[in-house]
Amino acid sequence: MLKKRVLTAVIGIPVLIAAIWFDEPLQWFTILAIVWGLLAVLEFYRMAEVSKALALTSFGVLWTFFFILHPYVEYENLGPLLLLSAVTLSLVLLVIIPQKEKAFTNWAWMMAGILYVGFLLSYLVALRIEAGREWLYLAFFATFGSDTAAYFIGRAFGRHKMAPRISPNKTWEGAIAGIVGAVIISLLFTLDMPLQLPVHWWEAILLGVLISAFGQVGDLVESLLKRNTGNKESGKLMPGHGGLLDRMDSIVFAGVVVYLYYTFVVL
């Protein structure tokens, strides 16, 4: 399992670094986010058994696509408009389609997929557009630092269960190590280097704590989703890590935190 995790990281991280860095002739990170998001929402719908309702699945995938791309449109009411259209048009669709069994359950899961994947993932796209590559690197690598430290320290020294009814393997020792790992990575972004951010050391510490804390909450949310739907992993597209949905749980929460900090504190 560890060998597969490392191999996937060795292949995937350089692709991610390149996609974030280069924005010509195409917005490569946005393309990556679209592919990632659409495959992840399909995993979500498979887990929730919405995929059996083809019309609702198709609608959810399309609106997930719209949400991921909506940061490119300079219209401040587009987000609420997308949400309004998602709710109203999908309810109309619910009345039209012949499949009525579990109609509202499927509809609720379909809407949840749009918001959980499309809406949250759009903040990473917005972060790249509005803040630049440095802030997006911070969100990703502080999260990776948190996950890595939590995984290894938790396995080696974890004794006190953090949320046994949701994720039995997670411990408070691992959670604390995750915060330390994210803080260390965040502090690196205060050094005089090409990726240096305009933040003080104490802001880097605060960002590290927030990224790790909310990222770990996101990880627990994903674990709860899998437990409620009876799935061990969301998919098998990332050997050693599970599916794409498994790897976006903490990063989308971290992306929201970094975006909000940049928007309301830095600007």
Q: Quickly count: other Cβ atoms within 10 Å of residue 266's Cβ.
A: 13
Going by the DSSP 8-state scheme, the letter that residue 238 receives in this structure is B
Could you give the CA distance from residue 146 to residue 99 in angstroms, rounded to a whole number? 44
pLDDT of 197 above 90:
yes
Could you give the CA distance from residue 127 to residue 227 in angstroms, rounded to a whole number? 31
* For the chain, percent of residues with pLDDT exceeding 70: 96
* 36's tokens: 């990632």
Could you give the CA distance from residue 43 to residue 45 in angstroms, rounded to a whole number? 5
Backbone torsions φ then ψ of 166, nearest 5 degrees: -105, -50
pLDDT of 225 above 70:
yes
* Whether the predicted model's global pTM rises above the 0.75 cut: yes
pLDDT per position as a tens digit, 200-222: 999 999 999 999 999 999 999 99
Task: Name the pLDDT band for 243 (thresholds 50, 70, 90).
Answer: confident
What is the structure's pLDDT at 239? 65
Summary mean pLDDT of the chain = 92
Q: Are 234 and 245 in contact (CB under 8 A)?
A: yes
Q: Are 146 and 179 in contact (CB under 8 A)?
A: yes
**Which is higher by pLDDT, 264 or 7?**
264
pLDDT per position as a tens digit, 121-146: 999 999 999 999 999 999 999 999 99
Q: What Cα–Cα distance (Å) separates residue 59 from each residue in 41, 47, 53, 159, 217?
A: 11, 17, 10, 45, 28
pLDDT per position as a tens digit, 158-176: 999 999 999 988 999 999 9
Please name the residues in contact with 129: beta carbons below 8 A apart, sequence gap of 6 or more: 71, 72
* 259's tokens: 């975006």
Please name the residues in contact with 138: beta carbons below 8 A apart, sequence gap of 6 or more: 185, 186, 189, 197, 207, 211, 258
* CB neighbour class for 259 (10 Å; exposed up to 12, middle 13-18, buried from 19): buried
* CB neighbour class for 48 (10 Å; exposed up to 12, middle 13-18, buried from 19): buried
pLDDT per position as a tens digit, 68-100: 999 999 888 999 999 999 999 999 999 999 888
